[in-house]
Amino acid sequence: MALWGMVIDLDRCTGCQACVVACKAENNVPPVGAKEAVRGRIISWMQVLTEEDEEHDGEVKRFVPRPCLQCDDPPCTKVCPVYATYRNPEGIVAQIYARCIGCRFCMAACPYNAKYFNWHRYQKEAPGQNPDVSLRPKGVVEKCTFCHHRLQKARERALAERRELAPGEYVTACAEVCPARAIVFGDLSDPGSEVHRLARSPRAFRLLEALGTKPKVIYLSEGEGRG
């Protein structure tokens, strides 16, 4: 069974936000408007966090693109009272919008702040939306699912053509679009895959590793290339 994961090379990330925009377009993530944004209601499944340099005030030390980390031991799914969020067998943490009661317990439990709430009904039917991704009603929590619909599509195509899913046939929108090729996506359980190789690099680390959440998004720390 595949174990989908992602490696993000912080050395390559330029903070250009292409992944953020691609994710929003791919998943019909709604713009909330300036007023709501000021109130802290922005929804952004992929978000580029910026770490300030403590020594040089006002300078950014590091860009950290942060999707849902698809933890293998996710704190968010344990607390959900209705199984609206759960880890599926391939390691993707899913969210059932039609079942979520909007208690936001999972948001309070996620140490990475990777879950977002629909404070209003932000999403309306509009031209140019991705028909493969459902629109979220108000009052539910939504999150990155590694573009799960892409996996379903690729798998169906493979099935129709009576063959196995080829590696590289399924990638997330953010990985596909990253101009610096900082994001690599693939099957962590496949020893031949690039993510598998990169995840073993000495530069590899995970966010808040000590919490034991076992994220499947792995970061590569800044290496010697930096001046």
State the residues that interact with other proteins by CB under 8 A.
36, 39-42, 47, 49-52, 64, 66, 75, 78-84, 99-105, 107-109, 111-113, 116-121, 137-141, 207-208, 211, 213
Q: Which of other proteins, ligand SF4, none sits in contact with 74, Cβ below 5 to 8 A by type?
A: ligand SF4
Question: Considering the rule CB under 6 A, would residue 116 count as an interface residue with ligand SF4?
Answer: no
Question: Considering the rule CB under 6 A, would residue 143 count as an interface residue with ligand SF4?
Answer: yes
Residues 6+ apart with CB under 8 A from 43: 29, 30, 32, 116, 118, 122, 142
For ligand SF4, which is the closer residue by CB, 104 or 169? 104
Binding residues for ligand SF4 restricted to 184-213, rule: CB under 6 A: 213
Q: Binding residue for ligand SF4 (CB under 6 A) from 2, 43, 93, 184?
A: 93
Centroid of chain to Cα 60: 22
Question: Considering the rule CB under 6 A, would residue 218 count as an interface residue with ligand SF4?
Answer: no
Question: Beta 4-9 vs 217-220: how paired, if at all?
Answer: parallel
Question: Considering the rule CB under 6 A, would residue 69 count as an interface residue with ligand SF4?
Answer: yes
Radius of gyration of the chain (CA): 18
Angle of CA points 182, 184, 187, to nearest 5°: 165
Residues counted in the chain? 227
Give the separation between CA 192 and CA 187, rounded to whole angstroms.
9
For ligand SF4, which is the closer residue by CB, 10 or 76? 76
What stretch of H or E contains 175?
Answer: helix 173-177
Give the separation between CA 101 and CA 83, rounded to whole angstroms.
10
Question: Considering the rule CB under 6 A, would residue 71 count as an interface residue with ligand SF4?
Answer: yes
Centroid of chain to Cα 118: 17
Give the separation between CA 68 and CA 188, rounded to whole angstroms.
16
CB of 113 to other proteins, least distance (A): 5
Q: Binding residue for ligand SF4 (CB under 6 A) from 16, 21, 25, 102?
A: 102
Residue numbers at the binding site for ligand SF4 (CB under 6 A)? 68-71, 74-76, 79-80, 82, 84-85, 93, 100-106, 110, 112, 114-115, 141, 143, 213
